[in-house]
């Protein structure tokens, strides 16, 4: 049986064309495919081949997955299928959306046979749908909440990579208000709650949802950290960033928040406002940190503004 390095040489020799695709599919059909080393190699090949052969790979992997979904190797093929789908979405959005929905439905219809590893991958599919468009994932809300409540009754386990954690994270991405129902469970998990905030930010129409959650948060440390996160993201969000930064400065007066606000101003082109905020920061180290970050923002964009920041830095 050919070793993976030999398969790689064959694929490389085929210059990643049609013959390379054929060699890769032969590699996937090997009986001992389901091992971490083989999967890692296959994932690298998927990165190279998907842009050219996304439809072919989706079709083949879906067939492999449906055939082996109850076998150990089915888990690896499921992971590859998700990876290919994410890479292929920009080329074939409608086909990928249909594939992911059908895959979830197939797995849920056999849920009495599903092992925890596959449940986590189902959640990965649902999170992917939520990142594309929340309306695609809403239909799974009740199923997920029912499953989470069963696990909570059995003993809540909010460690990273646990099924409980993944369920709560996925539910929050679909409907951020769900966190209110589990507030007591999250009291001692501020870092994990912040991670959930990050996950929600990966979905559509999420910035306002997160802002609402942050404003109601009782843990001041978590609240401040979440504000840093929002300041770093606001320039890329469908909001009015200038207004958000100004309102944040009025509400939060710590020097760390001022530092983040100054850099946020710089990201949206408001250099003068950024420098005004820096003048309000008393700690010299924080001032220097902010100015260096601002200089790095403007260096590839505007030499005059970069020099203006550097002059302030050495003054």
Other beta carbons less than 10 A from residue 72's beta carbon: 12
- Inter-helix orientation angle 220-233/241-251, to 10°: 150
Q: Residue 104 is encoded by which pair of tokens?
A: 């979830």
| Tokens 């998907």, located at residue | 50
Q: What was the pLDDT predicted at 114?
A: 47
Give CA 90 to chain center in angstroms. 16
Sign of the four-CA dihedral 247, 252, 255, 256: negative
Q: What was the pLDDT predicted at 79?
A: 75
Other beta carbons less than 10 A from residue 71's beta carbon: 10
Coil, helix or strand at residue 175:
coil
- Inter-helix orientation angle 36-68/93-109, to 10°: 80
> Which residue, among 117, 132, 143, has the nearest Cα to 173 in the 3D structure?
132
Q: CB of 116 within 8 A of CB of 163?
A: yes
Q: What was the pLDDT predicted at 260?
A: 92
Q: CB of 57 within 8 A of CB of 83?
A: no
pTM recorded for the entire structure: 0.62
Coil, helix or strand at residue 146:
helix
Q: CB of 267 within 8 A of CB of 235?
A: yes
Q: What was the pLDDT predicted at 294?
A: 94
Q: What was the pLDDT predicted at 274?
A: 95
Burial of 270 from C-beta contacts in 10 A (0-12 / 13-18 / 19+) = middle
Please list the ranges in the chain whose pLDDT falls under 70. Answer: 1-17, 28-39, 61-77, 110-117, 156-161, 187-188, 190, 198, 201-206
Q: What was the pLDDT predicted at 30?
A: 63
Q: Residue 139 is encoded by which pair of tokens?
A: 């239909």
């Amino acid at each position: 049986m050919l070793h993976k390095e030999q398969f790689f040489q064959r694929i490389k020799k085929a210059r990643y064309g049609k013959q390379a695709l054929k060699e890769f599919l032969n590699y996937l059909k090997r009986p001992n495919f389901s091992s971490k080393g083989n999967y890692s190699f296959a994932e690298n090949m998927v990165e190279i081949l998907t842009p050219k052969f996304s439809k072919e790979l989706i079709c083949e992997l879906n067939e492999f997955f449906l055939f082996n979904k109850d076998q150990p190797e089915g888990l690896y093929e499921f992971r590859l299928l998700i990876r290919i789908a994410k890479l292929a979405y920009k080329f074939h959005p409608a086909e990928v959306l249909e594939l992911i929905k059908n895959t979830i439905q197939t797995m849920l219809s056999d849920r009495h046979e599903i092992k925890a590893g596959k449940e986590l991958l189902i959640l990965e599919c649902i999170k992917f749908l939520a990142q594309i468009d929340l309306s695609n994932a809403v239909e799974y809300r009740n199923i997920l909440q029912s499953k989470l409540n069963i696990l909570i009754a059995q003993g809540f386990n909010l460690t990273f990579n646990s099924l409980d954690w993944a369920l709560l994270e996925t539910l929050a991405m679909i409907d951020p208000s769900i966190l209110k129902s589990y507030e007591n469970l999250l009291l001692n998990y501020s870092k994990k709650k912040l991670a959930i905030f990050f996950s929600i930010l990966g979905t559509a129409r999420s910035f306002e949802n997160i802002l609402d959650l942050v404003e109601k948060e009782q843990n001041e440390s978590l609240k401040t950290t979440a504000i840093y996160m929002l300041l770093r993201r606001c320039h890329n969000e469908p909001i009015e960033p200038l207004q958000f930064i100004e309102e944040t400065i009025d509400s939060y007066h710590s020097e760390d928040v001022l530092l983040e606000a100054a850099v946020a101003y710089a990201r949206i082109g408001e250099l003068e406002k950024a420098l005004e905020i820096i003048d309000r920061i008393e700690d010299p180290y924080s001032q220097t940190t902010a100015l260096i970050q601002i200089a790095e923002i403007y260096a590839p964009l505007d030499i005059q503004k970069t020099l203006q920041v550097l002059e302030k830095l050495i003054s």
